[in-house]
Structures are given as C-alpha cells and as structure tokens.
Chain A
Amino acid sequence: MVAHLFIGLIIIALAAMLITQGKKRRIWSILLLAALSVITYFFLTNLNTQPATGFIYQWLPYHQLRADFNISSSLHMQSLLQPLIGILALTILLNIINTHENYSLQISILNLLSFVLLILLASSHDFFQLIFASTLLSIISFYIPVSLNARKNFFICFFLAEFALFIALCVAYGSINTISLGDLSNFASLGHHKDFVVILILFSIACKIGLFPLNDQFNSLKDESFNRIIGLYLLAQPLAGLIILTKLNVLLLSVPWTSFVIMLWCLLTVIICLGQILVSNSFNLKLCGLFQALIAECFFITAQNPDMLYSPISYFLLFMLYAALTLYIVYGLSQQSANQTFKFNYFGWLIGCIPPIIGIIAISMLDLSFIRYYCGVFVFLYGICLKMFCSVNLISHQTIESLSYRRYWASAVAIVSIGAVFLYLFYPQLTLSKGQLILFGLLFITIFTPATALQHLGNMQLGQQQISEKFYHRLLLLPLRFFGRLLWLTFDFIFVERGIIATITAYSNRIISLLRLTQCNHWFNWILYFSLGILALILYVKGGKL
C-alpha cells in the first residue's frame, strides 16, 4: 500500500512539473491538493493490519555490491506516514492560502517530493538508498528558500552532513564488505574506528536537525514566509535526521559516550534556542528557535528509543505544526491589535488563555501512556510554547505602560498552566526514572530562568555567523594563501621553472649555438672536417691492415 502511495505521489509531482511554472497558479495547487486527498483516502482506507512485504526492485546485482530499491509497508512505516501526510496536506493548503506566496505550485511540488523522499529514506535497507534519499532531500531543501543567503547556508551545511554520512558508511563498508543496514550490528561489534564513525554520524545528524552551533542554516530563514519555514522543518532535513538516527542507532550505541553527548548537546541546544526566542525581534527567528528546541527534544527521545519516531513523535510533529500555526495567527492578530489600544487589556486576557487551551488539547490528542512515560519532556515542551508566547512582542508601541504588566500576567498564566498540567499528568503517582527527573528538573529550571540570563546565550547564537566568518578569513584563508604562494615560489618557480627548465633551455641554446658554428660557411669548418675525414680514412686503412 505504501508503494502505491509512493508511486501515486510521484505521478502527481511529475504531472504538476509539466505545468508551466510561474507565479500564482493557485488553481493548479488546489487540483494538486485534491489529487493528494484522493490518494490519501485510498491509502488510509487500505491500511494493513498485518505487516506486509513491501516492494523490492533489484538494482545492483553484483555480488560485492548488492543494492536493492525498497519501499517498506511495515506497520511502523504506516504509523509514520499517517501524521506526515496530514502535515503535507496542511503545508500545501498553507501554500495556497498564503497570499504572499507567489510560487505556490512550485513549493507544493517541492513539499510533495520531500515527502516522497522521506518514504524512500524510511524504507532504506542499504547504504545507497539511504544516502540517495538523504542527498536528494538536501537538493530539494536547497530550492525551497527564496533568499540566496539561506540557500547558500543550506547547501553548504547539508553537503557537509551528506559527506560526513558518506564517509562514515565508507568506513563501515571497508570493515564489513556489505552495504546492508541490517549488517551494521557486525560493524558495531567487530569493526574498526567506531569512534570516528560515530562522530561523523552525530555531526551529520546534528547538521540536519540543527543542533547548536550547527543551526545557522535554519536561522537564515528569518526572511522566508511561514509556509516555507513549516515545509523545511517538518517535511525535510530535521525529520530526515531523525529517520537516519533510527537506521544507524545500532552504530551510535556501540560507543559508550554517545548517550551522554546526545543529552548534553540537546540540552545546550534547547537552552540556546530559548535565549534566541527571547532575544530576537523577528517572529520567524522565534519560530525557528522553537522548532529547533522541540526537534532537539525529539532527537533526544528517538536516541533513547528509535521506535518512538514511528508513533508518538510523528504525531508530535503534527502538534508542532498546529502550535506554530496558532502562534502565527496570534502574532498576526496581535499585530493588528497594536493599533487598537482600547482593546488591549481584553485582548491580552484572551490571548493569555489560548496557550493553556492549546496545551490541553494537544496533550489529550497524544497517547496517554506515552505521555506518562515521557511526561516531563512534554510538559517542558509545552512550557517552551508558553515561554515563547510570553516573550512575543505583542505590542510594537513601547509607550504603553501596561506592557510589562501584561508580560508578568502572562508569565503567571504560564506557570499556573504548567503546574496544572503537571498535576493532571502526575497525580496520583510519580513514575519518572532518575534520569528523567534530572532532565525534567534541569529543563524546568530553564523555564524560570530570567530572560536577561538567557539573553547572552541568545546573542551568542545570533552572533555566531560573524564569528564563523572571522574564523574562516583569518584562520583558514589567510594562511592558505600564504603557504600556497610560498610553495609556488619555492618549488614551482625557483626550482622547476628557473632551476630545471631555464637551465635546460639555456644549455640547449648553447649547444645549438655551438652546432650552428660547426655548420656555417667558415674556412675553419672546412679545415676541421677535411682533417677529420683524413683521420677517419687513416684509421680505417690501418685498422684493416691490422
């Protein structure tokens, strides 16, 4: 069934690509959405209750390099795709209804192709399919942002991620001589250079997910439209990073320090992103910070238990879309209300009630048993939404004195809401493990950390681009130019050009000029050659007599 969905989506994407790409094209986008809905209906009504074999095409049949093209129809796959297809439909709808989006059809096609590649990635059973799907997803992600700066950052960052993954799998292949993902456990137990492989894989996943400080590419989305940001976060590389994590988790577990590093790294990312949410003035940057924090949490959970990606986390992505959309609407409304001061207090109260309602609804949508197990993390996630909301600059006019009053009031709402949810989830029994308690405790403290303390972290996050540019110019480019010039001067110019070639040329010239002398019409040459001839004759005659 998944194979039918895959093929159907490819046909829709190819058919849509045949339409002349230009501005607007909303009617065609609506038709695309309708076609998607039909295929989704057939997919959802024909879900397998038992695991199915899926589709396999033998691609490279060579004994030493056997690669197949797989589309999996497992139950895991189906539970992953159900919320994702909802995200895809909502994203395409956003592309259509966003009046500022001029290329709705193009972006919808790219979102569709991203989804198709995610299916391919999640179905991969060998290295080649994994790298192929991941790389094509990087290429698609390159075309979604409008601004060149964002495209540049995306391309370079994801290229490095793909190459790191490529090298890691090269090392694995060199040891186990097979490209099957199922045989990675052999490498995990017997392979060489496991630390190196794990570092590369972590680097690759961190680039895709956007863990600090490898998240500059996502922050460069600050000038992009909301629908493009959603598409890039929920249907592209971050999710690809999580899927790759599930495929290669056996390698990460082969090294003892991985869990600790992942936990620290996620925690650092979340804290830095909170700072970014507080410090930045742009809604898009706040949104990016929120997404990065939430996805870092998803990464942490998936690293503990990869199966979590296929059910709870995939639904959580839907919640993220819902939360982002709600915040976007709130932000839009607040921008409108900025000019209407007489409605301020009432509106502020109304807005203050929305986050707890969002939270309760979101939590009730999710699987309760899962919530009880990871409830600390999800309460924190909910807290992040509230914290972000509290820091949103609802009113642009700084002259309104009640602004600070409203913020404190909203923060109080946030704290009370968190407490209420906490009680609702934990009462009457506490089932958190020690590790979860520590994590939850640390994260809970972060919520109540004063904004000024986080401000420095946020500034560090936003200022990292300048640091990296300075590093690039002073520590890489300058020494490189110096040594390159030095090498050229010492070896190529002095030794080869002036030493060998010029010497040979000069000696050749001298030999030629000498030979020229012996061939010119000079009396000396006549005497010389005549004498040489007489000598040769005498020697020949004498030699014959002997």
Chain B
Amino acid sequence: MNIPLILLVLTIVVPLIGMLFVLSASEGTKHHYHNCSNVAIVSLIANLGIIWQLFALIKKQSTPVIIEKFQWFQSSDIYLSFIADTNSLLMLTSAHIIILGGIIFSRLENNHTKSLMSFTLLFLSMISGLFISNDIFSFFMFFEGMLLPSLMLIGVNGNFKKSISLNGFFIYNLIGCLILLAAILWLYKINGNMTLDQVHKISARRSWAPFLWGILALSFMFRIPVWPFHYFIASVNTRVHNALVFIVVSILPLSGIYGLYRFWPDYIPLEISQYFVWINVIGALTMLFISLIGFSNPDSQYRLFAFITIYYIMYLLGIFSQNVQIRTNLGFAVFGFLLIVGSLEIIISYIYTQETANTSTSQGFLCRAKRLSNIYSFLTFAAIGFPISAMFTNNFLILSHLISTNIHLGTLLALSLIISALTLISELLRLKTDSKECTLGKSEDLPIIYFAFMLLIVFLLLMSFVQPLWFIGQ
C-alpha cells in the first residue's frame, strides 16, 4: 500500500467528499446551515491531519520531498505526478487554517449558505491539487480549476452588485488561461508530459526559450496584482464584504506566485535577465503607488487589499531575484503572511458587520471591546513586521537580498512597506480613538469561542517566529 500516494490523493479528495455531503444536505431543515458549515469544518480539520502526516513522512525520510506518480493515460503517456515538500505543505496548511477561520466566522455572521460552503470546499480541493501537483498537466488542471469556484463565490456570495467586476475577472483569467495553455502545449511538444523539475532544467540558452519563459511568466502574472494586471483583483477585493470570499480571492495571487516558484528555471542567462529590470521597476512602482493610495483611502478593506498587494509583489520580485535562500524560505514567508491577512480580514469583516447591524461608527470600538482590541493589535503588530511572527525573518531576508542587488529598488520597496505599515497603524489608532458616536460596546465584543480560535492563530504566529516547523519537531 503506497501510503504517501494515498495521503497526497486524499488531500484533494477529502474536500470533494465534504462538498458532496454539503450538496446532498436537504434544505429547509432547522439546522441546515449549521450542518453545512459543520461538514466543511470537519473536512478541513481532517485535511489538516493528513497534511500533518505528510510532514511527519518528510521528517522520516532522508530527502525532504515526497514524489509519487500515477499513470493516467497509457497511450498518450500522460501521467499525474504529485509532490510534497516543506514549502508546498506550509502554503497548503496556511490556506487550510485561514479558510477554516473564514468558515467558523461565517457562522457568526449567519452567512454559511450551502453554496458558500460547497464552492469553498471545491476551491480548497483545487488548491490542494495545485500545491501537490508535479507535472504540467495536473498543474494546469488545478490552476484553472480553482477559477470556477472563485467565480461562483464572488458572484453569489460576494454581496456586491457590479457585474463589470465579474466580467473583468472572467476576461483576465480567460486570457491568462489561454496563454498558459499555449505554454503547456509547447512544453508537451518539447518533451511530452514533463514534471516540474524537468521544466526547471530546460536550458534557457535555446533560441525559443525566452519566448517560452516569457509567456509562462505572463500567464502567472495575470493572477498577481502587479500593474497592469491588478485591475480584476482590485475591483473584486475592494467590493467584497464577505470574509470567506475575500480570503479565497486573496489566495488566487498565491497560485501565480507558486506557479512562478515551480516553473521558473534555476539559471537565466544574462542576455535575458537584463530585461528583468523592467519587471523590478514596474513592481516597485506598483508597490509604491498602491501603498500611497491605500494610505489615503479611508476604507479599511481597501487598505488591507493594498497591504496584500504589496507583499505579493515583493514575493514576486523575490522569486525573480534567483536567490536560493528566498526560494527556500518562500513557504515560511507565505505561511505567516496568509495567517495574518486572513485573520485581519476576518476581524475587519466582523467589525464591519457590527457597524452595519448597529448603524454606528466603528471609531472607538476597540476601547470597549478588549478581546477584539488585543487580537487586532497583535495582528497589526505582526503585519507591520514586528518580530513576533515569521514575517519578520522573511521580510529581513527578502529585503536584505533585494537591497544588496539594487539599492534604489530596495529603498522603494522599503518605503512601500513603511507606508503600508503606517496605513495599518492609522487604522488601528482610529479604532482605538474613542468617539461618542460609537454605540458599540462590550456586548458586541468577540465571543469567547471565536476569541479562542484567534488565540490559536496568535499562538501559531508566535511559534512560527520562535521555532519554525515546531509542529514536526524540527
């Protein structure tokens, strides 16, 4: 019995089974909504257990990677290959935890409909497949497969009415999909169904190599909110008022980052890498503008979106820098980052819900809601890079390398990080400035159970700083 293969396949299958259970739940019963979210929670926890087992397997082995192969079509030599290494499992873990948080908090907002749960589980299944896929076909399947549940989540549960944002979302991703398909077919034509390791090793000195890497990079960058591809995510993220949907949409750029991480070759010749300076310039300028616009915008969700964009672009620049240390550390970077932004979005969404339910301003809410204040303060401190989570060490590594490569780029980057941090700080201070118009009080504070979940997130973040990979004893 091939345990690793079974475990890898289960990470994709378990959320799908959960989705089937949710879809088959009969509507109109008294506890229908709670049952749907309970099933989703159980599926996620089960999947987290499987991921933990995969970590344990990696620890036992001499190599820090598990690779399994499954022959799909004998005639066309199409097989599915799966991989599990520390980086992919860390990203998967953080995605699971933060989606779990979103589902738990959707119960608080009484917003745990069948469609929300089922599409979330489908999305989770697709993203699990993406993070463990090791060949170009399965990668493409799961990469594009996650778009359908995202589109449905945004359209059905996003709570906003601008159809043009959905049109933009669809068109951007369609174009990206077609470009990626062209690149995948080109790769298949070169050497059949390749694993991602073999893609790495394609020599960039061949005449067609720059075009191939160019379209691959372009297809992945369609997912990342760097100019000029920022539009569809910006138009969706800033309008969505559902924490779970926001989290799902925020994970989409991660798929682009992950794609670049897996596909990007180890070595790029100088005649090609000189063009990267344009990507660096555009990335740095996008970061600066987004940070400044986020700073001036009073909407807390937009500010969080600006923060997320800046960090994704920073990771993008980190991957293009070809630094081994940054690539090795990417999983740790994303782990802390996703936990923080997901938790912040949950809290912001909770505050927004209380604001609208009580028709009151939220300014001064944290003066009276102690539990919420403690959690929000910790998350803000962690987000701005204080040494209380893994974000600190990762920012240190990435920034130090980018500054040593190019001081001007590094300075722009640092400036963007400062401005985005000041944005979050100003939001925290606004919520802590007491106001007579705020009618929210202790009764609207975070309930104990949800506070306990947030404490768990705080604990994970602290442990990620104190002892990375503590949960597998390394």
A113 → chain B closest CB, angstroms: 15
Contacts of A491 on B, CB cut-off 8 Å?
227-228
Is B407 touching A196 in the complex (CB atoms < 8 A)?
yes
Complex Cα–Cα for A170 and B393 (A): 11
Q: Which of A64, A135, A160, A171 contacts B387 (CB 8 A)?
A: A135
Interface SS of chain A: helix, strand, loop or mixed?
helix
Residues in B whose Cβ lies below 8 Å from that of A131: 387, 392
Q: A14 in the interface, Cβ–Cβ < 8 Å?
A: no
Return B441 CB to nearest CB of chain A, in Å: 18
The answer, yes or no, to whether B432 is at the interface (CB within 8 Å) is yes
B227 CB contacts on chain A under 8 angstroms:
491
Interface assignment of B273: CB less than 8 Å from any CB of chain A: no
In the bound assembly, the distance between CA atoms of A166 and B394 in angstroms comes to: 12
Main secondary structure of the interface of B (DSSP, over half): helix
Given known A155-B429, A166-B396, A171-B400, contact A139–B387 (CB-CB < 8 A): no
Are A496 and B168 touching (Cβ within 8 A)? yes
**Distance from B375 Cβ to chain A, minimum over Cβ atoms (Å):** 15
A68 to chain B, nearest CB (A): 13
Q: Which residues of B contact A196 (CB under 8 A)?
A: 407
The answer to whether A463 has its CB under 8 Å from any CB of chain B is no
Within 8 A of A (CB), among B194-250: 227-228, 231, 234
Q: B152-174: contact bitstring with A at CB < 8 Å (1 yes, 0 no)?
A: 00000000000010011001000
> Is the Cβ of A497 less than 8 Å from the Cβ of B397?
no
Query: Do residues A477 and B296 form an inter-chain contact, with CB atoms below 8 A?
Result: yes
Whether B231 pairs with A496 at a CB distance below 8 angstroms is yes
Q: Does A501 reach chain B (CB closer than 8 Å)?
A: yes
- CB pair A163–B421 under 8 Å, yes or no, is yes
A462 to B396, CA, bound (A): 37
- Tell whether A156 pairs with B425 under 8 Å between CB atoms, given A163-B418, A501-B167: yes
Chain A positions 197 through 220: 1 when the CB is less than 8 Å from some CB of chain B, otherwise 0: 000000000000000000000000
When the two chains form their complex, are residues B418 and A174 in contact, meaning their CB atoms are under 8 A apart? no
Q: A480 touching B400 by the CB < 8 A rule?
A: no
Specify which chain A residues have a CB less than 8 angstroms from the CB of B396 in the assembled complex: 127, 166, 169-170, 173
Q: Does B438 contact A (CB under 8 A)?
A: no
Residues of A within 8 A of B403 (CB): 167, 170-171, 174
Residue ID in chain B nearest A155 by CB atoms: B425
Q: A128-B387, A170-B403, A501-B168 are in contact. Are A148 and B432 (CB under 8 A)?
A: yes
The range of chain A's interface size is 35 or more
Given contacts A65-B393, A484-B289, A484-B296, contact A170 B429 (CB under 8 A): no
Task: Output the nearest chain A residue to B467 by Cβ-Cβ distance.
Answer: A59
Q: Indicate if the CB atoms of A65 and B404 lie closer than 8 Å.
A: no
Report the minimal beta-carbon distance from A400 to chain B, rounded to whole angstroms.
Answer: 42
Complexed CA–CA distance, A491 and B167 (Å): 17
Does B186 belong to the interface (CB within 8 Å)? no
Interface residues of A in 452-499 (CB under 8 A from B): 477, 480-481, 483-484, 487-488, 491-492, 496-497
A17 to chain B, nearest CB (A): 13
Whether A159 contacts B293 in the complex (CB less than 8 A), given A166-B396, A167-B399, A174-B403, comes out as: no
The A391-427 residues at the B interface (CB cut-off 8 A) are none
A504 is an interface residue with CB less than 8 A from chain B? yes
CA distance A65 to B293 in the complex (A): 35
Return the contact of A500 from the options B171, B292, B325 (Cβ within 8 A). Answer: B171
Q: Are A173 and B292 in contact (CB-based, < 8 A)?
A: no
**B453 contacts the other chain (CB 8 A):** no
Out of A128, A139, A148, A483, which one reaches B381, CB within 8 Å? A139
- Given A167-B399, A492-B231, the answer on whether A174 and B404 have CB atoms closer than 8 Å is yes
Chain A neighbourhood of B360, CB < 8 A = none
Question: Do residues A135 and B386 form an inter-chain contact, with CB atoms below 8 A?
Answer: yes
Given A159-B384, A484-B296, A504-B171, residue A170 in contact with residue B421 (CB < 8 A): no
> Does A322 sit at the interface, judged by CB under 8 A?
no
The answer to whether A175 and B228 have CB atoms under 8 Å apart is no
* Residues of B close to A59: CB separation below 8 A: 466
Which of A59, A160, A504 has the most C-beta atoms of chain B within 10 angstroms of its own C-beta? A504
**Cross-chain contact B400 with A174 (CB below 8 angstroms):** yes
Inter-chain contacts of A502 with B (CB < 8 A)? 164
Q: In the docked arrangement, what's the CA distance between A167 and B421, Å?
A: 14
* B4 interfacial contact with A, CB 8 Å: no
Partner of B228, one of A64, A155, A496: A496
Asked whether any CB of chain A lies closer than 8 Å to the CB of B433, the reply is yes
A4: CB under 8 A from chain B? no
Shortest Cβ distance from B384 into A: residue: A159
- Whether B384 contacts A501 by the Cβ 8 Å rule is no
Q: B387 near A65 (CB under 8 angstroms)? A: no
Which one, B296, B392, B399, B407, contacts A481 given CB within 8 A?
Answer: B296
| B401 lies within 8 A of A166 (CB) | no
A148-B433, A171-B404 given; A139·B231 CB < 8 A: no
Q: Do A480 and B293 touch across chains, with their CB atoms under 8 A apart?
A: yes
Does B387 contact A132, Cβ atoms closer than 8 Å?
Answer: yes
B385 adjacent to chain A (CB < 8 Å): yes
Contact B404 A175, beta carbon cutoff 8 Å: yes
Cβ contact within 8 Å between A174 and B401: yes
Residue-wise, chain A 93-136 has the 8 Å CB interface mask toward B (1 for contact) of: 00000000000000000000000000000000001100110011
- CB neighbours (8 Å) of B385 from chain A are 163, 166
Min Cβ gap A413→B in Å is: 46
Restricting to A157-201, which residues have a CB under 8 Å from any CB of B? 159-160, 162-163, 166-167, 169-171, 173-175, 192-193, 196
> A163-B421, A170-B399, A481-B296 are known contacts; what are 7 more A-B pairs with Cβ within 8 Å?
A170-B414, A173-B396, A192-B404, A480-B295, A480-B296, A492-B234, A501-B167
* Chain A residues with a Cβ under 8 A of chain B: 59-60, 64-65, 127-128, 131-132, 135-136, 139, 148, 151-152, 155-156, 159-160, 162-163, 166-167, 169-171, 173-175, 192-193, 196, 477, 480-481, 483-484, 487-488, 491-492, 496-497, 500-502, 504-505
> Can you name 19 A-B residue pairings with CB atoms under 8 Å?
A131-B387, A148-B429, A148-B434, A151-B429, A155-B425, A159-B384, A159-B422, A163-B421, A167-B399, A167-B414, A173-B400, A174-B403, A175-B404, A484-B292, A487-B293, A488-B293, A491-B227, A501-B164, A501-B171
